Structure 1
């Protein structure tokens, strides 16, 4: 297949290119090739003549989205509408990468694919607008929600390692009441490689198996690299930031699992990722 990938230079985009390059003809679209806030995006997508477009590009700085909701909507909402219209021009299937933050975080169990979304911050609201655009404009679509991605150079794992290299005297402080699904980009890419060969269109949750808090995630990172650094649990309300993250958003992979697309435990995926990092990144 001929596959266009937006956000090709991001951490998921890079994993997609590495995973799909051997079997498909790829058209990588980075920020230099695609400006999502401009309607010319429609023509740029149409010019790829792709069979499938994987729309992984987004404004993912959740605090930046809170400071400028208009920009968040222009990139994640309108930008996705432009991508969808481009897909209509060339009759391409569309894979839209969405987020756990379309949910409010007030559930008592992991969210199913068909649970009603209710975003509580501008980032989640803008991504939900993108979902709505995809559903209304492209019949052949996959909406794939992911969460707590790691796999590139900027993510929670790398942040913990950076902080651990020069920890404060009291140790590290991590939020213990924000619960989610850590997810490895290369595992998502492998799942997408299988999904796009089907015609089972709809909404999916592609996350690694298991749930944890940010505090538990950080503790496992430190344990895996052999660092005994004090870790202090704090509450979301004690961590001052511009955005309001939903407190409980684990995702349940029901639709993908019904097709045989399952994901290993997040702890195993984390070990894989840490084993691939260059030595200079790991604290000693």
Structure 2
């Protein structure tokens, strides 16, 4: 199968290439090859002659999106429209990588795939705009929401390790009332490799099993890494930032599980990732 991947240099893009290139003809499209906000993206996608396009590229700087909502929409909303139009032109199936932040965070249980959305920040709003473009323009589509993604060079796990090495005032502070679903990029890539071989189009939540707060996530990272830096829980309202994150957005993998696509506990995925980091520095 010929598969085009946007965002090829991102943490999910790299995991997808590593997973899919073993059995498929992969066309990798990084930022140097593709400027999403440019209408020329339509032609560039069409020129790949791909059977499946996995659109993993996005403007994911959540605080940057809050500072410049127009840029967020141009890249994540309009840019996704251009990718979708390119898919239409060559009759390619499309996979759109979306986010937990399309939800408001007011639920009292993990969100199901068809629960009402209601993003409360410009990043979530721009990603929801992308979902709407895909649903309208591409009949054969998979919308796959992920959350709290780690697996590359810049992510929450790496941030915790970096801050723990030199914590401000000797203490690491993490938010205890933001709850979500940690997700390992390699596990998402494996799940997508199975999903794209089916014709069960629709919306999916691909996250590792289990939920936690940012504080609990950080505590587990430190425990597994053997680091004893003091960790202090704080509240969302005490952490000043430009964006407002939804406080409770765990995702339930119901549609994927019905196809037999399930994910291991997030703690096991963290252990795998930390082992990979150790091996890379040996």
Helix, strand or coil at the partner of 1:89: helix
TM alignment of 1:112-151, pairs within 5 A: 112-151=112-151
Deviations 1:191-245 (A, max 9, x none): 0000000000000000000000000000000000111111110000000000000
Alignment of 1:1-284 (within 5 A): 1-278=1-278
The answer on whether the counterparts of 1:96 and 1:134 sit within 8 Å (CA) in structure 2 is: yes
Q: Which runs of 5+ in 1 are unaligned?
A: none
Deviation of 1:281 after TM superposition, in Å, equals: 6.9
- Shift of residue 169, structure 1, vs aligned partner: 3.4
Q: Secondary structure at the match of 1:261?
A: coil
Distance 1:193 1:153 in 2: 22
| Gap change, CA 1:280 and 1:11, over 3 Å in 2 | closer
Q: Take 2:279 and 2:78, find their aligned partners in 1: how far apart are those partners? A: 41
RMSD over aligned Cα, in angstroms?
1.1
Q: Secondary structure at the match of 1:189?
A: helix
Q: Distance in 1 between matches of 2:281 and 2:179?
A: 26
Q: Distance in 1 between matches of 2:207 and 2:182?
A: 7
- C-alpha distance in 1 between matches for 2:146 and 2:18: 19
CA contact (8 A) 1:161 1:281 kept: no
| TM-score of the two chains, using structure 1 as the length reference | 0.98
Counterparts of 2:131 and 2:167, CA distance in 1: 40
SS of 1:23's equivalent in the other structure is coil
Distance in 1 (alpha carbons) for counterparts of 2:231 and 2:206: 29
Unaligned runs of 5+ in 2: none
Q: How many residue pairs end up in the alignment?
A: 282
| Deviation per residue, 1:31-53 (Å, 9 max, x gap) | 01000000000000000000000
Asked if structure 2 preserves the Cα contact closer than 8 Å seen for 1:5 and 1:53, the reply is: yes
CA contact (8 A) 2:55 2:97 kept: yes
TM-score (norm 2): 0.99
- Structure 1 stretches of 4+ with a deviation exceeding 6 A read 279-282
SS at match of 2:96: strand
